[in-house]
Amino acid sequence: MTVEVALSLMAGAGVEYLVLCDGDDQCTGAVSRARLTVFRDTPAYTDRVRLRDVPGSQPA
């Protein structure tokens, strides 16, 4: 999932955190809406960045 899709999903659901899972539905981390918003404003951001590539995603 891309950062933009995640931010849209989080806004629609009214949540501040998103739990990240792998293909086996095992929790692999979490990321906050605030962290994604900050990252989106950095030079490293493109519309193709996936959640797993966001620096600062917290291991579960």
**Residue 34 has what pLDDT?**
93
Q: What is the pTM of this model?
A: 0.80
How high is the pLDDT of residue 13?
Answer: 96
d(Cα 52, Cα 10) in Å, to the nearest integer?
Answer: 16
In this predicted model, what pLDDT tens digit does every residue of 14-59 receive, in sequence order?
Answer: 999 998 888 888 888 889 999 999 999 999 899 899 887 887 765 5
Nearest residue to 58 (alpha-carbon basis) of 24, 4, 12, 16: 16
